[in-house]
Amino acid sequence: MALLDEAPAPCVLYLSRINFVVLGVLVVFGFLYYVSVFCVIVPWLSYSVPGITNMGLLTLTTGLSLYCYIFCVLLDAGRPPADYQPDQERSSVLEVKRKDGAPRFCQKCNHYKPPRSHHCRKCQRCVLRMDHHCPWTNNCIGHANYRAFFLFLIYVNAALMHVVGLLAAHGLHILQTSHANRVLRTGPQAKPVQLAGGWIESVWLWAVLQAVAFMVALPLTIGLLLLLIWHVQLIMVNKTTIEYQEGVTANVTAAASGIVVAAAASFQHPYDLGLYQNMMTIFGSNPAAWLLPPLRPTSGGTSYPTKWDEGRADDGEHEARLLGF
């Protein structure tokens, strides 16, 4: 059984998604990279083996994270086909409305919703396997770009932790050198500077730049690292952020209405296939390529395997399980 529908995904660029927020993120990318390379690595480590190694690693992680970020900004998150119809015979799970048990239908888009899809009010359309709308990419994170988003979190955390480490280590180096009243090489040209020199010729200009970069990089590292940990937990159970929030809401509603907690806890997330299968569903069937940046949007998105599909094939069960949304 194929893990995903293998229909080819269109690769369309939407340049209109580049707004001031996206440009601001790109400016932060450039600022942190410039300060780390030309104000820390070059003057401090020069073009030695440690200097070249640090510059190469930082360039690699920054380039990969920037590529995945642009991927999430410009490419579509995945939209349902206009002629999509729910097929009860094909899947062992049928997502239905809570009110009347009818197949989920989007009144605004005027078509049926595939499993795990939701309507985004900001994008004003339905998104396949919608996780959330990200204001920092001015785009939704969904089926077609979720892998790129997760890889972005990995690459950008590696780059930011490298930047924070370099800035902190070089800050200590500046303090020790200044305390010993020795000449310090800093700035893009690694020129010798003195504490008593003018603003441009002194260490203070570059110290301020590095302090600003550190104050920007540190909270970004903490926030994005927490976001990465959160999405690792979601991937382990093959849930989206929306599905997690719906599960929490259902549990709270069940407790408030007096339903036995054990009954509420007995609900099983249908798309949780186990850690390895969950990762294959999201990253593809080749583990060697899981950490490689994507070349095109993830294909499929209108159907997903469930934990009941294998049992259904064995015992010939054709009755779909109904999930209320």
Residues belonging to the active site: 134
Q: Where are the beta strands (DSSP E) in 181-314?
A: 184-186, 191-193
The span from the CA of 37 to the CA of 313, in Å, is 57
Sequence letter at residue 16: S
The span from the CA of 325 to the CA of 323, in Å, is 7
Sequence letter at residue 283: F
Q: Are 238 and 281 contacting, i.e. CB atoms less than 8 angstroms apart?
A: yes
| Residue among 3, 32, 67, 46 at smallest CA distance from 219 | 32
Give the CA distances from residue 55 to residues 58, 167, 190, in Å, rounded to whole numbers and listed in that order.
Answer: 5, 13, 15
Could you give the angle at the alpha carbon of 147 between the alpha carbons of 144 and 151, nearest 5°?
145
| Residue among 114, 139, 149 at smallest CA distance from 300 | 114
The span from the CA of 120 to the CA of 143, in Å, is 14
Structure tokens at 195: 């504490």
Environment class of 251 (CB within 10 Å of its CB; exposed 0-12, middle 13-18, buried 19+)? middle
